[in-house]
Amino acid sequence: MAKNEEVYMSALEGKSIPILTLDNKWHQLFTQTEMTPAIESLSEELNALVERDGKIRSETKDIKKLKKKLLGEIVPLRDQANKSGNAAAIEKEIQDRTRLINDCNDRLASHEDELLDLSKQIYDVDYKLMIETMNVCYERLHDNTTEIKAMDEWISRVRIELKKNVIRLQETEMENYNLYSYMHQIFGPEVIEIFDMKYDPDRRHPIRRPLSGNESDYVE
Indicate if the pLDDT at residue 209 is higher than 50.
no
What tens digit of pLDDT does each residue of 150-160 get? 999 999 999 99
Strand-pairing partners, residue 197, are: 208
What tens digit of pLDDT does each residue of 6-26 get? 666 676 666 778 899 999 999
Band of the pLDDT at 215, cuts 50, 70, 90? very low
C-alpha distance from residue 116 to each of 4, 58, 86, 125 (Å): 29, 15, 46, 14
Query: Three-class SS of residue 208?
Result: strand
When pLDDT is averaged across residues 154-177 and rounded to a whole number, the result is: 92
Angstrom distance (rounded) from CA 20 to CA 130? 7
In the chain, the amino acid numbered 6 is E
CATH topology of domain 37-158: Helix Hairpins (1.10.287)
Q: Is the dihedral of CA 210, 214, 215, 217 positive or negative?
A: negative
- The CATH 1.10.287 domain(s) of the chain lie at 37-158
C-alpha distance from residue 135 to each of 46, 87, 112, 162, 186 (Å): 18, 71, 35, 40, 75
What tens digit of pLDDT does each residue of 72-103 get? 988 888 777 666 666 778 888 888 899 999 99
Angstrom distance (rounded) from CA 27 to CA 21? 7
